[in-house]
Amino acid sequence: MPAMERAMKLHILGCAGGIGGRERLTTCLRVDEDVLLDVGTGIADLDIDALVRIDHVFLTHSHLDHVAGLAFLVDAVQGKRQGAITVHATPKVIDILKKHVFNWAIWPDFAAIPDHENPVLRWQPIAHGAAVALGERLITAWPVNHTVGSSAYWVRGSRDGFLFTGDMCTTPALWPHLANEKLLSKVIVDCSFTNVDRELADKSMHFCPQTLIEEIKVLPVGVDILIYHLKPGQEESIMQELQSDGARRYVAVRRGETFEF
């Protein structure tokens, strides 16, 4: 008999759009025990044994609330694991982090610690449209409109999968790629501001309910829409405005939740 397919598990370690609100830790999602999508302050939920098991990190973009934990992750596991943690991101995001964070001024260059031949951190550029196979899991990067080099990740297991958009605003070219994906069951998407702050949302390249509702009309109604990156103090108002869309249901993702795919 064929071996039973193992469910892919998604753990929400952090999902806040800032500090001081209902959610206290910023973006960090763990796939099974070895993959992180972004490394915000949510990584603080993991103990050293869990940190050592992280082999791959996929970064959506270079903003601090999504990458701050990477500096602490590589520092924590140095000397405690075999092999480097592979950090996947677009070349532009990698260049920003090498220049402005892992530069020996803000933080040590862990791509050279303990030495260049045996580093704790290994940078792996990923092109938009390219996929990385990790066992039965396939992770594909797609371009989104936010900061330079930003990516969404379409993560597929053996049974179904999810899209994690990272921070983004209107990106019409993204959704046709996914509308007919039979394995897509959930979309975890940014909706940071209320409609009254649409000008600020547009300027900072985030969604508000009006723009998000319009953006995802092409997706099948059966796809679950999970909202993350709600700005502190605006959580209830944003979710109430999203519920005005009678066509589908929106749910705010919460730290500590686990989903199976």
CA–CA separation, 102 and 147 (whole Å):
19
**What is the per-residue pLDDT for 67?**
98
Find all residues with CB under 8 Å of 182, minimum gap 6, and list them.
none
Q: What is the pLDDT of residues 3-35, one digit of tens each?
A: 557 899 999 999 999 999 999 999 999 999 999
Calculate mean pLDDT across residues 75-87.
Answer: 97
Q: What is the pLDDT of residues 145-188, one digit of tens each?
A: 999 999 999 999 989 999 999 999 999 999 998 999 999 999 99
Separation in Å, CA 102 to CA 146, 151, 217:
22, 21, 40
Domains parsed from the chain with CATH numbers: 9-260 (3.60.15.10)
Question: Could you tell me how many helices (H) and strands (E) the chain has, helices first?
Answer: 7, 14
DSSP H or E stretch at residue 30: strand 28-31
**What is the per-residue pLDDT for 1?**
39
**What is the per-residue pLDDT for 6?**
83
**What is the per-residue pLDDT for 3?**
52
Separation in Å, CA 23 to CA 66, 194, 245, 255:
15, 17, 24, 7
Please answer whether residues 92 and 127 qualify as being in contact, where contact means their C-beta atoms are separated by less than 8 angstroms: no
**What is the per-residue pLDDT for 44?**
97
CA–CA separation, 223 and 180 (whole Å):
11
DSSP assignments along 96-143, one per residue: HHHHHTSSSSSS--GGGSS-TTS-SEEEEE--TT-EEEETTEEEEEEE
DSSP H or E stretch at residue 185: strand 184-190
Q: What is the pLDDT of residues 216-227, one digit of tens each?
A: 999 999 999 999
CA–CA separation, 110 and 107 (whole Å):
8
Q: What is the pLDDT of residues 97-152, one digit of tens each?
A: 999 999 999 999 999 999 999 999 999 999 999 999 999 999 999 999 999 999 99
pLDDT at 85 exceeding the cut of 80: yes
**What is the per-residue pLDDT for 247?**
87
Please tell me whether residue 186 adopts helix, strand or coil conformation: strand
